[in-house]
Amino acid sequence: MRDPREETIPHADGSGFNRRDFLRGSGAAVAVTALATSEQGATAQDAAKKNVVSAKAQDVTLNVNGKDHKLSLEPRVTLLDTLRDDLNLTGCKDVCDTTNCGACTVLIDGKPTYACSRLAHECVGKKVTTIESLAANDPVVAGFVKHDAQQCGFCTPGFVMATKAFCDKNPGATLAQVRSGLGGNICRCGTYVGITACAMELVTKKGGK
């Protein structure tokens, strides 16, 4: 059956804009309002500005975790669905699918990004990094274990990737900066104390303090 979210809404300029993109754009706007200080918020806003016209599957090559993958994908397919369904990289979680929770966070060219807010076709020519690329002794992974920063684990892969991106970019960050920088991710189990402790330890070490 036809997905009503895929119905094409004509633009004044003659281009097409499907309902799913509209809904996603609305979600991004809400997320940006709530997460104005997070990098993911800005990324979602960028994604919301893009208009995508539905079309048939096309051949693309996506670079994920340093490896090129040749895929045939419809332009409407999200990066999140591609990672999980086509590449079997299920670390990134599909929780809200509306840019509100951060469970799907991956890195695109080093920037933390909601994979549910990006179309796979937008990622051609970019480097996508998922939690599967991190070894067990990665400092962020080890830090989460050390600080007991997970319970059910649904938010954890996204939080790990967001923490990695933040700590790499912000050595010597303050507690307030850590909290703000990780503000694009939500944990319903309330593991913020452990996550924040892990991030503070990493930025303090990187800052040479």
Q: Can you give the binding site for ligand FES, defined by CB under 6 A?
A: 94-97, 99-104, 114, 116, 150-156, 187-189, 191
Strands (E), the chain: 8-10, 16-18, 58-64, 67-73, 105-108, 111-114, 127-129
Q: Which residues contact 85 (CB under 8 A, 6 or more apart)?
A: none
Q: Which is nearer to ligand FES, 60 or 116 (CB)?
A: 116
- For the CB of residue 152, give the shortest distance to ligand FES in the complex, in Å: 3
| Least distance in angstroms from the C-beta of 48 to ligand FES | 13
Nearer to ligand FES, 132 or 204 (CB): 132
Q: What residues form DSSP beta bridges with 113?
A: 106
| DSSP letters spanning 44-64 | HHHHHT--------EEEEEEE
| Tally of residues, the chain | 209
| CB nearer to ligand FES: pick between 126 and 205 | 126
Quote the least distance from Cβ 13 to ligand FES, whole Å: 29
Rounded least distance, CB 78 to ligand FES, Å: 9
Indicate the residue among 5 and 11 with the shorter CB distance to ligand FES.
5
CA distance 56 to 44: 25
> What's the min distance (Å) between Cβ of 150 and ligand FES?
5
Which CB sits closer to ligand FES, 45 or 156? 156
54 CB neighbour count, 10 Å cutoff: 15
Q: Do the Cβ atoms of 146 and 198 come closer than 8 Å?
A: yes
